[in-house]
Amino acid sequence: MQAPTRLRLPALGGPALNKAEPLLRIDESALKRVLAMNPALGQGRTVHEFKEHLEAGGGMSPSVAKTITATLPLEDELEASFSHFLQAQLRTFHTEFTKLQEEKAALTRREEALKQQARKKLASFLTLMDLQAVRAYGRPVLEKFSSHLAQLETSPSKLLNTILSARS
């Protein structure tokens, strides 16, 4: 009997499994600024080549890492690079946050419409009942369901007032 074939995964730091989908996405303009601060990172590659290398899961050799620590960027270069990256992140955040706020407002409107529809159906159902029975026993019966009615932003009193005023 033959042993089952095992799936072989690529080594860490190797090329991506699917070249159409990179493991991560790199902002080319941010990478350009980083390489301007420390050209040794690119190992002689163009910005675009280095971006593809990183997105494919490539890394840096240990000798380059030593060079990086030996050549610290100037304070103003670091500040400018961080500022550029922060601005890009804030633009993305604000765009997504605005969309989220719009979705939240739409959900709130939809929730209110659902509650209103449920209140109308409850009132409509109670109008089908005998008016004398609703007047005599409606409040104590509905009080038993007050926590459920509160979820619909109504109360036994409000519901009874709605149906009694509609039937008068």
Give the burial string for 6-22 (b: 16+ CB within 10 Å, else e): eeeeeeeeeeeeeeeee
Question: Nearest Cα to 16, choosing from 56, 59, 60?
Answer: 56
- Per-residue pLDDT of 63-121, as tens digits, reads 555 555 555 568 888 888 899 999 999 999 999 999 999 999 999 999 999 999 999 99
Measured distance CA(6)–CA(23) in Å, rounded: 23
- Per-residue pLDDT of 37-68, as tens digits, reads 777 777 778 888 878 877 777 776 655 555 55
- Check whether 9 has a pLDDT greater than 80: no
Measured distance CA(115)–CA(121) in Å, rounded: 10
Domain ranges of the chain: 13-73
Q: Determine how many CB atoms are found less than 10 A away from the CB of residue 3.
A: 5
pTM of this structure: 0.49
DSSP helix/strand/coil, 115: helix
Residue 8 is predicted with a pLDDT of: 46
Contact 166, 123 (CB under 8 A): yes
CA distances from 89 to 107, 129, 141 (A): 27, 60, 56
Residue 52 is predicted with a pLDDT of: 83
